[in-house]
């Protein structure tokens, strides 16, 4: 569910007409709904109510300060994968004991910053990282709380570029070596081994891969406890998918996901962490763009938009689908025709959809890309010297620009000219 609905022929974001936002900030832009963000977080929080838990928002899906503050006010933790994301989380007022540090390539400096500022745990991905973290913690006279990320060799049945839980993926420690590596971790004086971590991938649309992985973790927990380890926390990752098209079968509900967690690991008495990102922020955002030209080509017609692959790269990078709808609702039964929907960037890959049926549109008409709140703005670039597009947050009948569009002068001023060129 989201809060982007037609009223009297116009698309609204909560109680604000999308066309009104476009007239104020220009196109293209991202628009987020506070009500959708809050609702989706609460669905996960309520799904885990029977057990001690923390829902940590996966910041890599959307790291705008206003989004983080909105979720932090509800008690969300944050899952960060870089020193920059850690800085963003703390700047948004999230305390260190609600921040989990994931990622395969943490640097010594990132470890030091997180230990100084406070951290709930590091999700350690490799033995070399484990040794490095131990050295940093010892040098600071601290013990770093850790969970070792285990690779359970489970096929997530998702896009190859976002699958993370098979043996050939770069993530985690093979489950076959887990007991050996836990024994080594327990012997290191700078580490406090508190739990197990795993994450098998993103945009999963069925529960079976999760259940297979979580049952393996349950067995491992009992084996590690038998070895003398105090396993008191299970970080089960994120990855529950969203429907990117209204015609898709709906992925499992957070309530069904929570019931499965209770069924597979609830008997262990562990505190549970989950790290949803896409399901909280994905359907909470749209990208709005304007038609520049309608081009009639040989054998096909094109809608050329002012939004491009640098603004929303998912279709180019993953062949991802986004529903694209007119901001002004077409009349019932309006005739439609197939278009290639493209941007102005000088790449054939700057294509959002091929032969997508759309009602008749003209230059200046607005369209909205649904389900664009996750992995949209955070993956954007300034390719072709195109400014990063504004982000707007709506709450009820109010909206605010939460990231402005930079001017060309501001973009150019970031470049430094060496003395010998002056």
Residue of 31, 56, 270, 346 marked catalytic: 346
pLDDT at 201: 83
Q: In which band, very low, low, confident or very high, does the pLDDT at 163 lie, cut at 50, 70 and 90? A: very low
| Type and span of the H or E element at 340 | strand 336-342
By the 8 A CB rule, do 115 and 125 touch? Answer: no
Distances (CA, A) of 405 to 39, 66, 222, 377, 382: 28, 16, 52, 12, 11
pLDDT tens digits, 172-209: 899 999 999 999 999 999 999 999 999 988 788 889 99
Q: Give yes or no: 31 in active site.
A: no
- The DSSP 8-state label assigned to residue 60 in this structure reads G
Q: Whole-number mean pLDDT of the chain?
A: 93
Distances (CA, A) of 124 to 30, 134, 150, 183: 34, 11, 9, 14
By the 8 A CB rule, do 17 and 10 touch? Answer: yes
Distance CA 410, CA 415 (A): 10
Distance CA 232, CA 51 (A): 12
Percentage with pLDDT > 70 across the chain: 95
pLDDT exceeds 70 at position 166: no
The token duo for 118 is: 């406070």
The token duo for 223 is: 């084996």
The token duo for 152 is: 């359970």
Dihedral angle of Cα 409, 411, 416, 422, to the nearest 10 degrees: -30
Q: Sign of the CA dihedral 212, 50, 236, 216? A: negative
- The DSSP 8-state label assigned to residue 204 in this structure reads B
Q: In which band, very low, low, confident or very high, does the pLDDT at 161 lie, cut at 50, 70 and 90? A: very low
Distances (CA, A) of 146 to 115, 133, 291, 388: 12, 10, 50, 36
Whole-structure pTM value = 0.93
Q: In which band, very low, low, confident or very high, does the pLDDT at 296 lie, cut at 50, 70 and 90? A: very high
Distance CA 184, CA 131 (A): 10
Q: Is the peptide bond before 9 cis (omega within 30 degrees of 0)?
A: no
| Type and span of the H or E element at 414 | none
β-bridge pairing 144-151 and 10-13 = unpaired
Cβ-based burial of 71 (10 A; exposed 0-12, middle 13-18, buried ≥19): buried
pLDDT tens digits, 297-355: 888 999 999 999 999 999 999 999 999 999 999 998 899 999 999 999 999 999 999 99
The token duo for 389 is: 């597009």
pLDDT tens digits, 48-98: 998 999 999 999 999 999 999 999 999 999 999 999 999 999 999 999 999
β-bridge pairing 398-403 and 391-395 = antiparallel
Distance CA 328, CA 8 (A): 9
pLDDT at 95: 98
Domains along the chain with CATH numbers: 4-31+282-413 (2.40.37.10), 34-279 (3.20.20.10)
pLDDT exceeds 90 at position 25: yes
pLDDT tens digits, 250-288: 788 999 999 999 999 999 999 999 999 999 999 999 999
Query: What angle is formed at CA 34 by the lines to CA 28 and CA 38, rounded to 5 degrees?
Result: 140
pLDDT exceeds 60 at position 167: no
Q: Which residues pair with 5 in a beta bridge?
A: 12
**DSSP codes, 68-111:** HHHHHTTT-EEEE-SHHHHHHHHHTT--GGGEEE--TT--HHHH
Residue written as token pair 């669905």: 43
By the 8 A CB rule, do 149 and 217 touch? Answer: no
- Which residues have a Cβ under 8 Å from the Cβ of 248 and sit 6 or more positions away? none
pLDDT at 246: 64
pLDDT exceeds 70 at position 247: no
Distance CA 247, CA 124 (A): 39
Distance CA 193, CA 211 (A): 24
Alpha helical stretches, state H, 118-207? 127-139, 178-186
């Amino acid at each position: 569910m989201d809060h982007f609905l037609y009223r009297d022929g116009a698309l609204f974001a909560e109680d604000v007409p999308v066309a009104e936002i476009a007239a104020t900030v220009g196109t293209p832009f991202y628009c987020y709904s506070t009500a959708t963000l809050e609702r989706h977080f609460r669905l996960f929080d309520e799904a885990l109510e029977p057990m001690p838990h923390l829902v940590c928002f996966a910041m890599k899906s959307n790291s705008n300060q206003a989004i983080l503050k909105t979720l932090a006010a509800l008690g969300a933790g944050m899952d960060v994968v870089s020193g920059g994301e850690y800085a963003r989380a703390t700047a948004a007022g999230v305390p260190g004991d609600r921040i989990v540090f994931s990622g395969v390539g943490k640097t010594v400096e990132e470890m030091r910053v997180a230990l100084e500022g406070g951290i709930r745990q590091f999700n350690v991905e490799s033995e070399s990282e484990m040794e490095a973290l131990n050295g940093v913690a010892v040098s600071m006279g601290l013990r770093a709380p850790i969970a070792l990320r285990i690779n359970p060799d489970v096929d997530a049945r998702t896009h190859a570029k976002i699958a993370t839980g098979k043996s050939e993926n770069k993530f985690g420690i093979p489950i076959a070596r887990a007991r050996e590596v836990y024994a080594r971790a327990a012997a290191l004086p700078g580490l406090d081994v508190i739990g197990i971590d795993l994450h098998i991938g993103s945009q999963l649309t069925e529960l079976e891969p999760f259940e297979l992985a979580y049952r393996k973790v349950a067995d491992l927990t009992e084996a590690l406890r038998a070895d003398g380890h105090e396993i008191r926390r299970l970080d089960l990752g994120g990855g529950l998918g969203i429907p990117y098209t209204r015609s898709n079968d709906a992925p499992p509900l957070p309530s069904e996901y929570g019931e499965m967690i209770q069924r597979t690991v609830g008997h262990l008495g562990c505190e549970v962490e989950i790290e949803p990102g896409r399901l909280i922020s994905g359907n909470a955002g749209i990208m709005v763009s304007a038609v520049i030209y309608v081009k009639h080509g040989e054998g096909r017609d094109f809608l050329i938009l002012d939004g491009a692959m640098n603004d929303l790269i998912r279709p180019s990078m993953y062949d991802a689908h986004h529903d694209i709808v007119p901001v002004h609702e077409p009349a019932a039964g309006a005739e439609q025709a197939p278009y290639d929907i493209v941007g102005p960037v000088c790449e054939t890959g700057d294509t959002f959809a091929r032969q997508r049926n759309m009602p008749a549109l003209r230059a200046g008409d607005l369209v909205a890309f649904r389900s664009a709140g996750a992995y949209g703005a955070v993956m954007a670039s300034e390719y072709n010297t195109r400014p990063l597009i504004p982000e707007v947050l709506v709450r009820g009948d109010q909206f605010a620009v939460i990231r402005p569009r930079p001017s060309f002068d501001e973009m150019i001023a970031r470049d430094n000219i060496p003395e010998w060129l002056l």
